[in-house]
Amino acid sequence: MNENRVGYLEHEGVMITEVNSVISSTPPGIFVDATYGYGSHFRNIEQNFPDLDLLAFDRDIEVLNNSYSNIINLKFSQISNYFIDNNIDSISGILYDFGVSSHQLDNHLRGFSYSNDGPLDMRMNQNDDTNAYDVVNSFEEYKIADILFQNSGEKNSRRIAKDIVSSRPIESTQELVNVIKSSIGKQNPKYISQTIKRCFQSFRIYVNDELNEIQESLNQIKNFVKSNGVIVCLTYHSLEDKIVKRIFNELTTSCYCDVSIPVCTCKNEQLYVYGKKKKIYPSDLEISKNPRASSATLRYVIKL
C-alpha cells in the first residue's frame, strides 16, 4: 500500500444527490465512471443502482495503487478503444468528473498546489513523459506565453513568460509562485492569488492535454450509449464547460439549415436530448461543506 494512502480515504464526491437524480432513469447495463478518484461516485452508484454494472477508469496510476476496486488505467480518449478491444457494444451511461481531485491537490509531491511547496510535476499520470518542470524550464518564451493565455486568458502572460525564462532554473512550485508574484508586482492580494491560480491551471491543462482529452472522449463515446442512456459531465472552469456545452449542443441539434429554407437539406441526425435542466449547480449546503464544489457545473444529455 502506498504511503500516501491517507489521501485516498473516504471522501464525498461533488453533487452526489444531483448525479443520482440524473441517472435515476438510466436503463440497466454497463455504467462507466470515467474518473474514479476517491471512488465516492462509484460507491454511491454501486449502492443505489444495482441494475448498473460499473466499470471504472482513471488515468492516475496512484489511484490504482491506493484503491480496493478494480480500475482500468486509461485516459478519457482511450476509453472507447477499450470498449472495442473488449467487445463492449453499448453502455447505459458515463460520468465524467473533470478537473483535479482533492487527493492530487492535497499531496504536495504531485506539484498541483501553489499553496504548499513541492516539485514542478502536475502530471495526472506520473508515467507520462512531460511534466511542468519541462515546460517551465525548457519551452521557449512565446510558447509559455501562449500556454498561459490560451488556457486561462491570463492578460499578463507575456510578462510572466519573460520573467519565467529569465529566472531559470525554477525547481519547485514555490519558486514558480515567487516568479509570478515578482512579475505582476504589488497588487491586491486576491488578484495575486487569482493570477497564480490561473498560471498553475494553465500549465496543468497543458501538461495533461486536458481539453483535447475531453473533446476526443465525448466525440467517441457518443456512439456507445444506448437509448435512454446518459452522458454526465461535471466541469470546474469555463474552458471545460465551453467544450461540453458545444458538443452537447451539437448532439441535441436536429437541423443546421438556415431557417429561411423550408425543407431540411443538411441530413443531420439528432442523437440526444437535454434533460429537464441544461445545467445544474451545487447547493449552498454542499458548498458550505466543500468550498471546492463552488465552481462545479453539471451538464447531461440523454440518448434518443
pLDDT value of position 101 = 76
Torsion angle, alpha carbons of 35, 27, 298, 77, to 10? 40
Query: Which spans in 70-156 are helix H?
Result: 79-85, 102-106, 132-138, 141-150
Question: Mean of the pLDDT values across residues 92-105?
Answer: 87
For the domain made up of 5-97+211-303, give the CATH fold: Rossmann fold (3.40.50)
Is the pLDDT at 111 greater than 50, yes or no?
A: yes
What percent of the chain stands above pLDDT 90?
79
**Element of type H or E holding 228:** strand 225-235
Write down the pLDDT at residue 7: 44
Picking from 69, 70, 13, the residue whose alpha carbon sits closest to that of residue 41 is 13
Q: How many residues does the chain have?
A: 304
114-157 pLDDT tens trace: 999 999 999 999 899 999 999 999 999 999 999 999 999 999 99
According to the model, what pLDDT value does residue 10 have?
53
Q: Are the C-beta atoms of residues 205 and 189 closer than 8 Å to each other?
A: no
For residue 4, what pLDDT is reported?
41
Domain ranges of the chain: 5-97+211-303, 109-208
* 1-53 confidence digits (pLDDT tens): 333 433 444 567 899 999 999 999 999 999 999 999 889 999 999 999 999 99
Q: What's residue 11's pLDDT?
A: 64
- The rounded distance, in Å, linking the Cα atoms of 168 and 165 is 6
Kindly report the CA angle at 274 between 247 and 82, in degrees rounded to 5? 55
Pairwise CA distance, residues 112 & 292, whole Å = 14
Residues contacting 223, CB < 8 A, separation 6+: none
Q: What is residue 150's predicted lDDT score, i.e. its pLDDT?
A: 96
Which position has the higher pLDDT, 257 or 1? 257
Domain 109-208, what fold?
DNA polymerase; domain 1 (1.10.150)
